[in-house]
Amino acid sequence: MKQWSGQPRVLVVGGGAREHAIVWKLAESDDEPTIFCAPGNPGIGECVQRVDIDAMDLAALVDFAKGQSVNLVVPGPEAPLAAGIADLFAKEGIPVFGPTAAAARLESSKAFAKSVMKAAGVPTADYAEFTDADAAKEYVREHGAPIVVKADGLAAGKGVTVAQTVEEALRAVEDALVGNRFGESGHRVVIESCLTGTEVSLMFFVSGQTVVPMLPARDHKRIYDNDEGPNTGGMGAFAPVTAFVDAGLVAVVERDIVRPTLAELARLGTEYRGVLYVGLMVTETGPQVIEFNCRFGDPETQVVLPLLSSDLLRVMWATATGSLAADEVAWKPGAAVSVVLAAQGYPQKPRTGDVITMPQVGAGEDFDSGTSGGYVFHAGTAEQDGRIITSGGRVLSATGWGRDFEEAKAAAYRLADAIHFEGKQMRTDIGHRQDL
Ligand code: AMP
Ligand code: GLY
């Protein structure tokens, strides 16, 4: 692994629970880094120094990083990656843990991702892409339901309609291509066949030819217990997934999905660095790709990073500088569960401004006798007159870990139950079943 020149000075970009989990884990590093987070959130402010710069103000981020001699940049969300944050910092000679804009197109254009997969022979649903509504509608009528309609571009997790009827699919086409529902992002749509099976999120550290899997995790997207109600940005997660994922399946995903995708990107002149998130449907005939993301998943990160036994800073540094070795990444035994506490009205119209009261436990310390522990990662929170208030749909990510799921769930729910704000919504079944 390449050595640091001087002390590590890290800039994490973003301000959600994923970024809180990242800075919390980075802060554990033996290399004693100085960590900044722009813009962060109140919870992040308890761990590291916040910087008042928006995640999309790339020029200001570069100025700040140069002024502070930052020597590693870690973008959390997809938007700055799609906008070229890695390209910009590379020009300044500052290593970035994240892909270039060209490589991030695996997430920022679903049509691009599908074309890469098709060229690489990667298993994924059959598809066609359209900019013309009439042609798209004809395709829907020809193929029938269920069928999946996706806005091509970034749509903050809202661009996908899994239509159970032809009418629903036609409406999704009309909304995107004619109604401008997703703006520019929806002026092209991908229409694909509906896969059936069980979903799992598998993230990889990718650094040139080195590909290292993380623990498989599972996101719970529906707002209510038993996977009912509308889709959300994620109501909780658990890791590892063991019921239908084993080392053999992970190896198949690496061999048949990740490596051919990276090879096709390389053929197009693009190298990948950072996290490649593979959203999979495990079907009767094997794993199929639902989507690629070019960064850590949220809420998956909140359960995967607590189980990482390696030094995250060293792993990120090695990944960013192209010197990662597979044996640098090791995992703890046990399990982690994260329960998202959402605001009243989420996901349609979240109310903000409610005062949050939280227990003191979980400030990074085990609150049991050493076997289980927990931490509350902040997402949509703000500070007002010395109090913490809700400021977004997903407010907090109460996370617990332990030797097994029983301990992890108990730790997560002990924290989640002890947090109060008006209208708090949460699922009570996160981690209860591996296939939900
Ligand atoms: P995405 O925004 O790409 O993560 O998609 C949101 C959700 O839609 C996924 O987590 C899946 O549950 C579902 N989905 C997307 N594509 C398909 C597909 N081809 N077949 C079945 N479900 C899908
Ligand atoms: N958990 C899904 C995502 O991060 O996009």
Q: Is the CB of 194 under 6 A from ligand 1?
A: yes
Would 88 be classed as within a structural domain? Answer: yes
Residue-range definition of the domain harbouring residue 157: 132-187
Answer whether residue 349 is part of any domain.
Answer: no
**159 CB within 6 A, ligand 2:** no
Which of the four pLDDT bands, split at 50, 70 and 90, describes residue 188? confident
**Proximal ligand: closest to the CA of 300:** 2
Whether 275 is in a domain gets the answer: no
Q: Are 219 and 275 in contact (CB under 8 A)?
A: no
Q: pLDDT band at residue 179, thresholds of 50, 70 and 90?
A: confident
The answer as to whether 92 is a domain residue is yes
Asked if the structure places residue 308 within a domain, the reply is no
Last residue of a domain, one of 187, 203, 225: 187
Summarised one tens digit per residue, pLDDT across range 7-30 is 999 999 999 999 999 999 999 999
Segment among 5-9, 51-55, 292-296, 385-389 with least mean pLDDT:
5-9
pLDDT reading at 4 higher than 80: no
Ligand nearest to the CA of 106: 1
Cα–Cα distance, 340 to 351 (Å, whole number): 16
117: nearest Cα among 247, 298, 276, 234: 276
CATH classification at residue 70: 3.40.50.20
Average pLDDT over residues 111-129: 96
Question: With pLDDT > 90 as the criterion, what percentage of the chain qualifies?
Answer: 82
The reply to whether 105 falls in a domain is no
Query: What is the C-alpha separation between 271 and 375, in angstroms, rounded?
Result: 35
Phi, psi (rounded to 5 degrees) for 127? -155, 170
Alpha carbons 298 and 219: distance in angstroms, whole number: 8
- Specify if 30 maps to a domain: yes
240 within ligand 2 shell (Cβ under 6 A):
no
- Report d(CA 63, CA 35) in Å as an integer: 16
Band of pLDDT at residue 344, cut at 50, 70 and 90: very high
Range among 157-161, 179-183, 227-231, 369-373 rated most confident: 227-231
**248 occurs within a structural domain:** no
Burial of 258 (0-12, 13-18, 19+ CB in 10 A): buried
* Ligand 2 centre distance from Cα of residue 299 (Å): 7
Q: If pLDDT is split at 50, 70 and 90, which confidence band does 360 have?
A: low
Question: The domain spanning residue 170 has which CATH number?
Answer: 3.30.1490.20
According to DSSP, residue 113 is labeled: H
pLDDT, averaged across the chain: 93
Decide whether any atom of ligand 2 lies within 6 Å of the 338 Cβ: no
| pLDDT of 364 over the 50 cut | no
**430, amino acid identity:** I
Domain tally, the chain: 2
Shared-domain flag, residues 25 and 91: yes
